[in-house]
């Protein structure tokens, strides 16, 4: 047995040249081959890659898709995102539990199937959805949950669960997914035809500095949410001293309710890869890495095929399109289930084979990024915009959108609306206009920018979607009348608690405290003073946290305190009896009662 394990690990490590910085690949493959990365496997991996065992353990215990104890041959990960919960996830969850005879977090006694929850898997427009190993199943009901279990019991092959193929490239043999694009509005920047090589030809006719100048003239800003000027980022990266430079594409689309990058990856990978190649030329990089979230692993074979074709077309590789000295290639790095890896320095850590902990800044990635070299990290959509700017011209791009936010933006909308899906809209569109497009005119509340964004009510629907007003990386979640806004805020806090890397105090501890206090309020144990406590604590977490996750994680509380204050006030009304509601006497003496073997007088009443 040990010999066999040894051979498997040796083979996996050899595939990456025993390179410690490829640890995420090594542990992912080990997990896939053996169902876990066992203690013995950690020792062997450490020996093979020349590192310490605890370093391997540190990586394995960080990512949700990895485990040191055996999981089933098939792992069902039911998405428990807010939208999925709104659309009947609970019934699906119960059906899975009943059909499998196990609870969440458990494995069937025969070791065949493990049942787990996963945060947003990027399918909110076709919720409830789940991952069965790498296979996506969407639009689930309690019936389909039972059918899935029956089918897996019969043949154990997740790929056979896909009966009806989705539209567009979802039906491509290398994708073979039931996922639908739900592409509702195509704009001129992202969802327009592109002849492969067109942007690159125009870039290669210029100097790299001229390419950067064009991107600056177009006033392109990062589409991930933060909105940093892309041209400036490329210039800093180009100017930073370093023997090598890297282009990193952030395809770790994890913000709950965001799925627009999934549609780009499915329908316009050429535009994306072309944008990355243009960036490589502009900053002087020879390597690009696309960090693809583990939840989108089903797209990896298709994307690898596109890369292979582009190599064959001389759009990647040596002397691209005959340009001597310009060599550039792209590799795909798969993630393993960690929202934090969408933070650019955490993404770099993960690419380096480490835990997905963000890094201290400065130095910024443009100065010292991947493996210490100058690195430009951009969002999927940003690279697509850059390619289009080169193909169509900076002036053409800058004329679209609003003053401070040129171009178009992809929005992914889900929740209580008639037409969930992906929309390419010009920046500056009002939220009301957009809600009308999506069939959500009567929304009671809208979460713009995902949990890390803001929850707004009808009085704010006249505001515009752009960097200077309602900024969003793409997520728009609609809550209809009757939805509990604070219940949603609590679910978002639970998400951040689960996804915090735990590095810094305010995020690791503060979010737990926020969650517990809000939970107490929702359970009827709140006091008026709790609102002040939440406000102060939220601001402390926001100010003191080390990275963007912690700096935005209190937003569900802070924006609902601001925009839906009456929801809090009606739950923390002072009590007439003078008792302190936050103290639950029965719960406090529960342990003592068990030990004493008798109930208290209080409980008996």
- With binding defined as CB under 8 A, does residue 536 bind another protein? yes
- With binding defined as CB under 8 A, does residue 509 bind another protein? yes
- With binding defined as CB under 8 A, does residue 43 bind another protein? yes
The pairing of strands 408-415 and 421-426 is antiparallel
- With binding defined as CB under 8 A, does residue 499 bind another protein? yes
- With binding defined as CB under 8 A, does residue 55 bind another protein? yes
Which region, judged by CB under 8 A, interacts with another protein, from 272-280, 285-293, 370-378, 500-508?
500-508
Instruction: Quote the CA–CA distance of 317 and 347 in Å, as a whole number.
Output: 24
- With binding defined as CB under 8 A, does residue 580 bind another protein? no
Which region, judged by CB under 8 A, interacts with another protein, from 57-65, 242-250, 303-311, 320-328?
57-65
Listing DSSP states for 340-353 in one string gives: GGGSHHHHHHHHTT
Give the sign of the dihedral formed by CA 83, CA 88, CA 89, CA 90: positive
Minimum distance of another protein from residue 246's CB (angstroms):
23
Minimum distance of another protein from residue 542's CB (angstroms):
9
Which region, judged by CB under 8 A, interacts with another protein, from 130-138, 392-400, 473-481, 536-544?
536-544
Minimum distance of another protein from residue 356's CB (angstroms):
8
Listing DSSP states for 531-568 in one string gives: HHHHHHHHHHHHHH-SSHHHHHTTHHHHHHHHH-HHHH
Minimum distance of another protein from residue 357's CB (angstroms):
8
Which region, judged by CB under 8 A, interacts with another protein, from 2-10, 24-32, 73-81, 358-366?
358-366
- With binding defined as CB under 8 A, does residue 503 bind another protein? yes
**Which of residues 334 and 501 has its CB atom nearest to another protein in the complex?**
501
**Which of residues 273 and 495 has its CB atom nearest to another protein in the complex?**
495
Contacts with 505 (C-beta within 8 Å, 6 or more apart), sequence order: 544
Q: Residue 425: which H helix or E strand, with range?
A: strand 421-426
Contacts with 139 (C-beta within 8 Å, 6 or more apart), sequence order: 126, 127, 128, 129
- In angstroms and rounded to an integer, the radius of gyration of the C-alpha atoms of the chain is 25
- With binding defined as CB under 8 A, does residue 589 bind another protein? no
Minimum distance of another protein from residue 165's CB (angstroms):
36
- With binding defined as CB under 8 A, does residue 519 bind another protein? no
Contacts with 49 (C-beta within 8 Å, 6 or more apart), sequence order: 13, 18, 19, 20, 23, 26
Instruction: Quote the CA–CA distance of 135 and 155 in Å, as a whole number.
Output: 15
Query: What is the Cβ-side half-sphere exposure of residue 51, based on CA atoms within 13 angstroms?
Result: 21
Question: What pairs with residue 410 in β-bridges?
Answer: 424
Minimum distance of another protein from residue 497's CB (angstroms):
6
Minimum distance of another protein from residue 547's CB (angstroms):
10
Contacts 24+ apart (CB under 8 A), 2-6: 2/40, 5/34, 5/38, 5/40, 5/41, 5/44, 6/44
The residue from 501, 557, 561, 572 that contacts another protein (CB under 8 A) is: 501
Question: Rounded to 5, what percent of the chain is helix, strand, coil?
Answer: 50, 15, 40
**Which of residues 170 and 367 has its CB atom nearest to another protein in the complex?**
367
- With binding defined as CB under 8 A, does residue 506 bind another protein? yes
The residue from 47, 146, 483, 508 that contacts another protein (CB under 8 A) is: 508
Residues 314-353 vs another protein: string with x where CB under 8 A? Answer: ------------------------x-x-------------
Listing DSSP states for 44-103 in one string gives: HHHHHHTS-HHHHHHHHTTSTT--SS---SEEEEEE--HHHHHTTHHHHHHHHHHHHT--
Burial classification of residue 63, based on how many CB atoms lie within 10 Å of its CB (0-12 exposed, 13-18 middle, 19 or more buried): buried
* Tokens linked to 530: 């709790």
Which region, judged by CB under 8 A, interacts with another protein, from 12-20, 97-105, 250-258, 493-501?
493-501
**Which of residues 137 and 340 has its CB atom nearest to another protein in the complex?**
340
- With binding defined as CB under 8 A, does residue 498 bind another protein? yes
Q: Rounded to 10 degrees, what is the CA torsion of 218, 223, 227, 231?
A: -40
The residue from 11, 15, 61, 575 that contacts another protein (CB under 8 A) is: 61
The residue from 195, 516, 532, 569 that contacts another protein (CB under 8 A) is: 516
Binding site residues, another protein, CB under 8 A: 39, 43, 52-55, 57-58, 61-62, 338, 340, 355, 360-362, 497-506, 508-510, 512-513, 516, 536-537, 540, 543-546
């Amino acid at each position: 047995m040990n010999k066999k394990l040894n051979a498997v690990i040796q083979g996996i490590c050899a595939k990456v040249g025993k390179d410690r910085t490829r640890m995420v690949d090594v542990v992912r493959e080990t997990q896939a081959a053996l169902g876990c990365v066992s203690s013995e496997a950690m020792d062997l991996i450490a020996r093979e890659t020349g590192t310490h065992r605890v370093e391997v353990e540190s990586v394995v215990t960080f990512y949700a898709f990895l485990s040191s104890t055996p999981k089933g041959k098939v792992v069902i990960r039911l998405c428990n995102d807010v939208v999925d919960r709104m659309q009947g996830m609970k019934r699906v969850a119960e059906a899975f539990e009943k059909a499998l005879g196990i609870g969440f977090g458990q494995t069937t006694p025969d070791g065949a199937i493990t049942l787990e929850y996963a945060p947003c898997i990027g399918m909110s427009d076709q919720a409830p959805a789940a991952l069965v190993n790498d296979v996506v199943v969407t639009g689930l009901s309690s019936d389909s949950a039972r059918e899935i279990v029956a089918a897996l019991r019969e043949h154990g092959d997740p790929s056979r669960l896909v009966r009806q193929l989705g539209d567009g490239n979802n039906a491509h043999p290398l994708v073979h997914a039931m996922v639908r694009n739900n592409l509702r509005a195509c704009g001129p920047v992202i969802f327009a035809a592109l002849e492969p090589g067109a942007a690159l030809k125009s870039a290669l006719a210029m100097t790299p500095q001229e390419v950067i100048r064009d991107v600056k003239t177009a006033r392109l800003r990062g589409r991930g949410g933060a909105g940093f000027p892309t041209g400036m980022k490329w210039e800093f990266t180009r100017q930073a001293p370093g023997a090598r430079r890297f282009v990193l594409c952030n395809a770790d689309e994890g913000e709950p309710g965001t799925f627009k990058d999934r549609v780009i990856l499915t329908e316009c990978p050429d535009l994306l890869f072309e944008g990355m190649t243009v960036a490589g030329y502009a900053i002087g990089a020879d390597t690009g890495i696309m960090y693809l979230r583990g939840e989108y692993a089903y797209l990896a074979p298709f994307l690898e095929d596109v890369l292979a074709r582009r190599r064959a077309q001389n759009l990647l590789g040596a002397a691209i399109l005959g340009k001597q000295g310009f060599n550039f290639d792209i590799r795909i790095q798969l993630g393993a289930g960690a929202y934090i890896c969408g933070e650019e320095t955490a993404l770099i850590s993960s690419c380096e084979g480490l835990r997905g902990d963000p890094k201290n800044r400065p130095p910024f990635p443009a100065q010292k990024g991947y493996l210490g070299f100058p690195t430009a990290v951009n969002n999927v959509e940003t690279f697509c915009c850059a390619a289009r700017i080169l193909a169509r011209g900076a002036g053409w791009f800058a004329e679209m959108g609003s003053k401070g936010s040129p171009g178009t933006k992809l929005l992914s909308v889900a929740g209580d609306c008639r037409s969930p899906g992906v929309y390419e809209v010009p920046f500056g569109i009002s939220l009301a206009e957009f809600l009308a497009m999506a069939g959500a005119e009567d929304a009671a509340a809208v979460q713009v920018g995902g949990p890390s964004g803001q929850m707004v009510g009808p009085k704010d629907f006249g505001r515009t979607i752009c960097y200077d007003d309602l900024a969003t990386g793409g997520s728009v979640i609609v809550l209809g009348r009757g939805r509990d806004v604070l219940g949603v805020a609590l679910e978002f806090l639970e998400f951040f608690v689960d996804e915090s890397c735990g590095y810094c105090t305010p995020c690791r501890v503060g979010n737990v405290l926020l969650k517990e206090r809000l939970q107490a309020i929702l359970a009827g144990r709140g006091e008026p003073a709790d609102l002040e406590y939440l406000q102060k604590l939220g601001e402390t977490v926001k100010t003191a946290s080390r990275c963007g996750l912690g700096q935005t994680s209190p937003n569900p509380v802070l924006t609902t305190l601001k925009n839906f204050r009456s929801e809090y006030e009606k739950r923390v009304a002072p009590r007439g009896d003078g008792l302190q509601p936050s103290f639950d006497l029965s719960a406090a003496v529960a342990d003592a009662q068990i030990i004493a073997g008798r109930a208290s007088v209080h409980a008996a009443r």
